[in-house]
Amino acid sequence: MSDLAYLSIHEAQDLLRSKEISAVELTQAVLERIYALDNAVKAYLTVAPDMALAQAAAADEARAKGAPELPLLGIPLAIKDILSLEGLPTTCGSRILENYVPPYSATAVERLQAAGAVMLGKTNTDEFAMGSSTENSAYFTTRNPWDLARVPGGSSGGSAAAVAAGMALGALGSDTGGSVRQPAALCGVVGLKPTYGRVSRWGLVAFASSLDQIGPLARTVPDVALLLAAMTGYDERDATSVEAPAIDPAALTADVRGLRIGVPREYFVEGIQPEVEAAVRAAVDTLVALGAEAVDVSLPHTDYALPAYYLIAPAEASANLARFDGMRYGPRVGGGELWDTYRQTRGQGFGPEVKRRIMLGTYALSAGYYDAYYLKASQVRTLIRRDFDQALERCDVLLAPTAPTTAFRIGENVDDPLQMYLQDVLTLALSLAGLPGLSLPCGFDGAGLPIGLQVMGRAFDEATVLRVAHAYEAATEWHKRRPALGETE
């Protein structure tokens, strides 16, 4: 049964359609793996076996009746606990939403369910998606399935770990500054941040509204393409949603002949782990051997991405999180003066990283500092986007490392916020530009930890990003490896 849990979505589809397995059997196999392993990995905040098995049974019944074949019929998926799923707690990894159960589902979740997907439960996250290691969850730290002493990345670490450990065939995460791509890299799976506006944010609890995007994680590039296609499209409930060109997973090709691949020199930063740089440069060589052309490019404002992001994102977070005041959501602490209630509720409900970012953002937006900080960071953001536009006029995609190192040890950076923020240094610029990016495995270091390759593309050109990633994946074997977790000798 554990082999069923490690099927790709496409492999599972073939078996389900030929009726060699049922959706209930597949879902039960994944649930059994969750029961066996999640006490060690801690990927899930909430597991919903009754919901999942009922949805799987409905999928089997629909298939037996000859209903039209849905693209994800009977496929068990996990949802990051910052996305609303009707009937299940949505805590955002925070004590301030500990008992909140939404009466609706996010648009992206609705669309996956309409495509026939089975919902396994909600995965762990850094509190309000603020973190790079999932150590900022108010409940527990998720562990990397490749080495339980190491982090899975963040803030979508629970979703990435669930896919890597065979505890979901695919998952949803959210990416504000790299929170789908970085954990995908550290856990050895595929993760995609779509172009800003392609996937509706309705039902995603906001961290930084001009940056947040929902993205899929899975074991293969075709699987990610399938998940993206199922949830993409305009949504009138989201004012930032865009009517973009559709994604056709069936049209995905591995032919990269004639494509120009830019290699930005600024992404091979001082201090990058040598094995990471070597693996990414070898990936470039692989694509060149497949017929692509490598081009040296420059993104000159890359060094400013980190400070710009940590002004813009906390500023937007301070505004978005003002709603959690004990009056409308979650617990109310204290019953005296109004300001005392605010202070006590937020003081006890929010963790230290959330408080840190609220303070940073409030300061950046305060009278006398707005022009010097938030406005200046917004101007730098425009320059960063211009860099990408100019580079992508010459090239079809850009290739770079996803993270500067492989997974670090739990607790290693927890007392050093700046060192933790640097873990996203290679993903932040793309988020500020609002462009699509994908991470996929491109090797392992000497400790057996996965290395991620980042493929970046033009706005709404996920098709080319997926094409290049699929070509590399098809020519290599890295994505076929899996952690030894739970396997018997």
Q: What is the b/e burial string over 398-426, where b = at least 16 CB atoms within 10 angstroms of the residue's CB?
A: bbbbbbbbbbbebebbbeebeebbbbbbb
Strands 450-457 vs 437-444: parallel, antiparallel or unpaired: antiparallel
- Helix and strand element counts for the chain (H, E): 16, 11
The question of whether 22 is a catalytic residue gets the answer: no
Q: Taking a C-beta distance cutoff of 8 angstroms, is the pair 321, 365 a contact? A: no
Catalytic residue selected from 179, 200, 241, 439: 179
The question of whether 174 is a catalytic residue gets the answer: no
Tokens 């801690």 belong to residue: 42
What is each CA distance from 79 to 171, 190, 282, in whole angstroms? Answer: 6, 16, 33
State the number of CA atoms in the 13 A half-sphere of 415 facing the CB. 2
Catalytic residue selected from 8, 84, 132, 155: 155
The question of whether 105 is a catalytic residue gets the answer: no
Rounded distance, CA 418 to CA 405, Å? 15
Neighbours of 272 (CB within 10 A): 17
Give the SS3 label for residue 231. Answer: helix
Q: Taking a C-beta distance cutoff of 8 angstroms, is the pair 194, 433 a contact? A: no
DSSP assignment letter at 344 = H
Going by C-beta distance under 8 Å and a sequence separation of 6 or more, which residues neighbour residue 471? 253, 254, 255, 256, 287, 290, 292
Rounded distance, CA 375 to CA 355, Å? 22
Kindly state the tokens that stand for 370: 């707005």
Tokens 């009517």 belong to residue: 243
* β-sheet with 293-297: strand ranges across: 44-47, 118-123, 76-80, 170-175, 213-218, 190-193, 437-444, 450-457, 397-401, 260-264, 293-297
Catalytic residue selected from 42, 80, 122, 193: 80
Active-site residue numbers?
80, 155, 179
